[in-house]
Structure 1
Amino acid sequence: MKKQVSASDSRTAQTKLVLPPDTNHMGTIFGGTVLSYIDEIAAIAAMKHSRNVVVTASIDTVNFFSSAKVGDILSLEAVVVSTGRTSMEVYVRVECQNMETSGKTLTTTALLTMVAIGADGKPTPVARVSPETEEEQRLSQSAQARKEWRLKINEYAEEM
């Protein structure tokens, strides 16, 4: 396994059409549907980085900025921005394009932690990631603080 992998090696893009079954009574996409898309693309990016199957360990933040309607096109992009020994933090960005106006808006961002799983069914080491863009570098620099926050949340949950 390489000791370091460029973030661009994990970059993954998907496009989805918002269809009527994907929407709620207001005609906008269900948040759960968007979360499902985010989890899927994050897993693909993490698998590309680790060359292993992965599981979702946490979804740290999901920010919904705007919604999408039937007929809109969602563009999702995911990239590994930080790595631990067996884990990868993946940043996902979702944009919506309105077909009538061609206007694009940011709909959602998310940070997920994925863990690589080896053939033995146990967590397996991953290569370090080398962030490339300013955004990737900023997210990578703040990853340790998010990891410490997750550990505190886990400790609190165990105490309950």
Structure 2
Amino acid sequence: MEEQKIKTPSDSLVVMNELVLPNDTNMLHNLMGGRMLHWMDIAAAICAQKHCNSIAVTASVDNVSFKHAIKLGDVITINAKVTRAFNTSVEVKLEVWAQNIPSGTRVKSNEAYYTFVAVDNTGKVKPVQPIQPETEEEIKLYDGALRRRQLRLILSGKMSPDEATELKALFLPEKAD
């Protein structure tokens, strides 16, 4: 087996643009939330697959808040980047920006974390290679990913709160003697 190059978050970067058309909107001419989630899932899947060099399937989606309405005719830009790789999964951070080109306005509309699991062509889970953050922001996201993962596992019933050492350290720091 040949040695693989160490991957960085920038290796997985995906920038996806979509124009909000009438079929994408609700009765108020705002982008439908389901369409936004669909586009976010596509961008995150491409990002995860770039890191894993294989098929990657959605395992979880963290809370997605809609901060600003996206209107008919707006252009959305979805930025997706792997923040951390675990044994068989990766965490992907997504940021969604809405731009109204005629008015020159651009606002951050959404942000979320998705988790993907790498699988082979038969659907069997496979290991993923580690990631090496480079920038200060990437290191911060990398460090926080373990806490976010533990919270996801607790909420899904796959980990007891007592096992969440990173979260406990955050909320219950050990007292100095």
- Structure 1 gaps of 5+ residues are none
| Contact kept in structure 2, 1:50 and 1:127, CA below 8 Å | yes
**Matched pairs, number:** 156
The alignment partner of 1:151 has SS state of: helix
Percent of pairs with identical residues? 38
Aligned to 1:9: 11
- Distance in 1, Cα, partners of 2:88 & 2:149: 13
Deviation at 1:3, TM superposition (A): 6.7
CA RMSD of aligned residues (A): 1.4
- Structure 2 gaps of 5+ residues are 159-177
Q: Which has the larger radius of gyration?
A: 2
Picking from 132, 148, 151, the partner of 1:149 is 151
| Contact kept in structure 2, 1:73 and 1:97, CA below 8 Å | yes
Deviation at 1:153, TM superposition (A): 1.4
- Following TM superposition, the consecutive aligned residue runs of length 4 or more in structure 1 with deviations greater than 6 angstroms are none
Using structure 1 for the length normalisation, give the TM-score: 0.92
Highest RCO, 1 vs 2 (Cα 8 Å, sep ≥ 6): 1
Aligned to 1:97: 99
Q: Which moved more, 1:103-112 or 1:125-134?
A: 125-134
Aligned to 2:39: 37
Structure holding more strand per residue: 1
Deviation at 1:2, TM superposition (A): 2.5
Where do 1:1-150 residues align within 5 Å?
Answer: 2=4, 4-150=6-152
